[in-house]
Chains A and B, each alone.
Chain A
């Protein structure tokens, strides 16, 4: 079974530019999550999709962040325009959604905004 894959693994952009991160969940996992770890801080929840619908986006920092999951398969997270404080590691996770089905995480995308 292929795991959760994220692309790119690293991205370095300048302040004001746009970046799009992609996540391919495990096939058949309806639940898809985005988390972020800013350097030296906790991993924080950003949002949760169930299929193509946003179930909870309470963790999204501001309107510069846009997540989509068209067709309920892969998801993208776009940051536009990027700011310095957006630097961090963005993790995607997926799960089946049954009771205590664990989150399966991808390797993350390390975003550096200069």
Chain B
């Protein structure tokens, strides 16, 4: 089956930038997502990018997509302690009716 891979853990200091990386294998991916899960909460959609884009910026978040290498990254500028959470990379090859394939999740720890 299709895979999404991401590192398990990232630790950064408050105020620094965080970069969470993800690779995927599905060459038919059309939508790529970043979800955030805070402790005890559900999955919150942070942002998404369509496969014909290579960058998307939304306030402190920047998503970069290298479709050739099937590499997706999420950059969080000026990381805050409230950004501590698990971040899931996900992909689907259809929008709106999707069976989403998730990565294992990267736990971001922000050190004050």
Q: Residues of A with Cβ closer than 8 Å to B? A: 3-4, 31, 33, 35, 40-45, 48, 50, 55-56, 58-59, 91, 93, 95-108
Task: Give, as a whole number of angstroms, the nearest-CB distance from A30 to chain B.
Answer: 10
* 8 Å CB contact of A95 from B4, B44, B96: B96
Q: Does B104 lie within 8 Å of A91, measured CB to CB?
A: no
Number of cross-chain contacts by CB at 8 Å: 66
Q: Residues of B with Cβ closer than 8 Å to A? A: 4, 31, 33, 35, 40-45, 48, 50, 88, 95-105
Q: Does A105 lie within 8 Å of B102, measured CB to CB?
A: no
Q: Does A100 lie within 8 Å of B31, measured CB to CB?
A: yes
Q: Does A102 lie within 8 Å of B44, measured CB to CB?
A: no
Known: A42-B102, A43-B88, A43-B102. Is A97-B96 also a contact (CB below 8 A)? Answer: yes
Which residues of A lie under 8 Å from residue B48 when comparing CB positions? 100, 102
The secondary structure that dominates the A interface is: loop
Known: A100-B50, A102-B33, A102-B48. Is A45-B43 also a contact (CB below 8 A)? Answer: no
Which residues of A lie under 8 Å from residue B102 when comparing CB positions? 35, 42-44
Q: Once bound together, how far apart are the Cα atoms of A2 and B110, in whole Å? A: 30
Q: Could you write out 7 A-B pairs with CB less than 8 Å apart? A: A43-B43, A48-B99, A91-B43, A100-B50, A101-B95, A105-B44, A108-B42
Chain A minimum-CB-distance residue to B50: A100
Q: Does A42 lie within 8 Å of B103, measured CB to CB?
A: yes
Q: Does B45 lie within 8 Å of A102, measured CB to CB?
A: yes
* 8 Å CB contact of B104 from A42, A56, A98: A42
